[in-house]
Structure 1
Amino acid sequence: MKNLQFVFLLLALIAEVIGTIGGFGSSVFFVPIANFYFDFQTVLGITAVFHVVSNLSKIALFKKGIDKKLILYIGVPAVLFVIIGGVVSKYLKVTFLELFLGLFLVSLSLLFLIKKDLIIKPHKKEAVIGGTLSGFVAGVVGTGGAIRGLTMAAFNLEKNVFIATSAIIDFGVDLSRTIVYFFNGYIKEDILIYIPFLVGIGILGTYLGKLLLNKISQENFKKISLGLILIIGIVTIIKSAFDFFNQMRFC
């Protein structure tokens, strides 16, 4: 127990609550947080395992309706391309992946903050493209829920339907990449101690998120969550830059 990072577990709980309320999943926060405690490949592995449980909780708690067409149009390409992204991640340098994650988070948050009225057309083509991009990005850097959330928002779903449908798609994505990451060697023995805690956090965080969902203005929360994503992205870029320069110094 002495090797357990309790601050990390607390931050994971906060990430799960925020991700549930935001509707795009916890990985957009969980990945950069975990990156401060583990190497990036381990982060990918522990995120995938955590999200499998987290999404099962969301499916159970937000089961008032599921959009089967979106599962087909977004979910199928997302699952296919997360496998491709997971395989590709094995051949990319960790420092590059961290930097790409930081740039991705900063770009995405700034885009949503500046273009407040940004929407994607609710058509089959856009749904397939959104699923493809979200799956591939999730496989490479560990988080693609924001892209999927933006795509699904175009279809103007009721909140419970949105979260349940997103969770089912995410479950397929995370289960697929968990298998790929396992064979990549990303799910290491030293992170197994965290799994029981993350199972509880996934359930508790989803439940708390559901309670808060009806009490917080979605518009105000969106601004707060995007601001946090921006800050985390900037910190991740700075961290990856320091790691890069330290590697160059000792080469």
Structure 2
Amino acid sequence: MKINYFFLLLALLAEIIGTIGGFGSSVFFVPLGSFYFNFYSVLGLTAIFHLSSNLSKIFLFKKGLDKKLLLQIGLPSVLFVIIGGFLSKIIQSNLLEITLGLFLVILSILFLYKKNLIIKPNRNNAVTGGVLSGFSAGLLGTGGAIRGLTMAAFNLEKSVFIATSAFIDFSIDFTRTFVYYKNGYIGKTELTYLPFLIVIGFIGTYIGKKILHYIPQEKFKQLSLILILLIGIVTIIKVSINYYNV
């Protein structure tokens, strides 16, 4: 089959921005991929792309890992990504995507407006964020924005933010890859792009880390929230366009 190199260029851009924002590339990769592939192929491509990109983040940012937060957010994420992955075959995604978009827009605006508002980094809030992000990742292909919103609200230092998010994301992607394969989402087309996406994952993360070096810590949370706001808006627009084109 013919490789779409413009799509690969967009994937690289998504990886760079996802690294800078701290929540991974899927929040951009899924909407972009939907212009070139069907929904289920995008889910499969996202899972295998993220495995490589998160391995590179783990290698480059490993010193910042928060092991306590990893367990509190990561374990429920892994459990609920399995549930979301299996439900993706039977639930219409449009309503869920529009709900996700509205959720991201409202909460990101809230935290941008209330600059001193901090969610306490306790177990209940961490577990709730893990459940929502894991379920969304399995069902819609992307849960990084919800996890990023949770971790941004905790006001984490940027290396801790990215390293912990990458470890959690890797666990989610490793798990859902098996679920998606069983569902038939990963086939010849998706595997053809695998070597390209592995290389892009490492290059994009490296470039993102270099850029992140020039972003002050006090600006990092604000940047993450602005990117999440844009993701929410794009998600709502995309679903609305798809709805009216049906």
TM-score (norm: length of structure 2): 0.87
Where does residue 66 of structure 2 map in the other structure? Answer: 67
Structure 1 residue 188 displacement after superposition:
2.7
**Letter paired with 2:77:** A
Q: Distance in 2 between matches of 1:69 and 1:242?
A: 41
Structure 1 residue 216 displacement after superposition:
2.6
For each residue in 1:185-216, what CA deviation from the matched residue of structure 2 results, as whole angstroms up to 9, or x when unmatched?
11132222211111011000111111111113
Structure 1 residue 74 displacement after superposition:
0.8
The answer as to whether partners of 1:75 and 1:169 remain within 8 angstroms in 2 is yes
CA distance 1:239–1:68, change in 2 (3 Å): closer
CA distance 1:89–1:114, change in 2 (3 Å): farther
Q: Which runs of 5+ in 2 are unaligned?
A: none
The answer as to whether partners of 2:44 and 2:190 remain within 8 angstroms in 1 is no
**Letter paired with 1:150:** L
**Letter paired with 2:62:** K
CA distance 1:140–1:110, change in 2 (3 Å): farther
Structure 1 residue 234 displacement after superposition:
4.1
Q: Mean alpha-carbon deviation: is it higher for 138-147 or for 74-83?
A: 138-147
Where does residue 198 of structure 1 map in the other structure? Answer: 197
CA distance 1:182–1:108, change in 2 (3 Å): farther
Where does residue 175 of structure 2 map in the other structure? Answer: 176
For each residue in 1:75-111, what CA deviation from the matched residue of structure 2 results, as whole angstroms up to 9, or x when unmatched?
1001001111111111123544554555455445544
**Letter paired with 1:134:** S
Where does residue 22 of structure 2 map in the other structure? Answer: 23
Structure 1 residue 144 displacement after superposition:
1.3
The answer as to whether partners of 1:83 and 1:139 remain within 8 angstroms in 2 is yes
> Is 1:36 the counterpart of 2:35 in the alignment?
yes
The answer as to whether partners of 1:12 and 1:30 remain within 8 angstroms in 2 is yes
CA distance 1:49–1:158, change in 2 (3 Å): same
Where does residue 144 of structure 2 map in the other structure? Answer: 145
Q: Distance in 2 between matches of 1:203 and 1:73?
A: 27
Where does residue 163 of structure 1 map in the other structure? Answer: 162
Structure 1 residue 157 displacement after superposition:
3.8
Structure 1 residue 231 displacement after superposition:
4.9
**Letter paired with 2:190:** I
The answer as to whether partners of 2:149 and 2:228 remain within 8 angstroms in 1 is no
Where does residue 52 of structure 1 map in the other structure? Answer: 51
The answer as to whether partners of 2:50 and 2:170 remain within 8 angstroms in 1 is yes
Q: Distance in 2 between matches of 1:66 and 1:210?
A: 16
CA distance 1:237–1:118, change in 2 (3 Å): same
CA distance 1:118–1:10, change in 2 (3 Å): farther
The answer as to whether partners of 1:32 and 1:232 remain within 8 angstroms in 2 is no
For each residue in 1:208-243, what CA deviation from the matched residue of structure 2 results, as whole angstroms up to 9, or x when unmatched?
111111113455566566555555554544443343
Matches within 5 A, 1:82-97: 82-96=81-95
* Root mean square deviation, CA, Å: 2.5
Once the two structures are aligned, what percentage of the paired residues are identical?
66
**Letter paired with 1:71:** L
